[in-house]
Amino acid sequence: MYIYASYIENNSSKQNAPGGRIKLTERVKALDGNMVFNFVPFLWTKEGKDINKNKRKAVPVEEQFSLNLDFRKQLGLDK
C-alpha cells in the first residue's frame, strides 16, 4: 500500500481534478488491505497517463490480480 500511495502522491497535482492530490491519497489510505484501485483508462495506456482524469473504482485484490494476469497473456508477456 505504501508504494501505491507514494505513486499517487508523486503523480497527482493539487490543481487537477476535484479534491486533487490530498483527497486521492486519503482514499488510498482508507482502502481495506484486501482492496485496490482499478483505473480506467488503464494507467499504462497513452490515454491513462493523467491519473487525475481517470475513473477509479475500488476492487478486490484478487480481481485486479486476475485481470493483470489476463492482460499479460493477451499482450504476450507470459510464455
pLDDT digits (tens, 9 = 90+) for 39-77: 999 998 999 999 889 999 999 999 999 999 999 999 999
Q: What is the predicted pLDDT for the residue at 78?
A: 83
Which cell numbers in the block locate residue 9?
502522491
Over the Cα atoms of the chain, what is R_g? 13
Domain for residue 22, yes or no?
Answer: yes
Domain for residue 24, yes or no?
A: yes
Contact criterion met (CB below 8 Å) for 14 and 20 = yes
- Residue at 79 is within a domain: no
- pLDDT of residue 9 exceeding 60, the answer is no
* Confidence at residue 1, expressed as pLDDT on a 0 to 100 scale: 42
> What is the domain range of residue 11?
2-74
Kind and range of the H or E run holding 39: strand 35-40
Determine, yes or no, domain membership for 51: yes
Count of the separate structural domains present in the chain:
1
Residue 55 host element (H or E): strand 55-60
Interatomic CA distance for residues 38 and 27, integer angstroms: 13
Cell of 42: 488503464
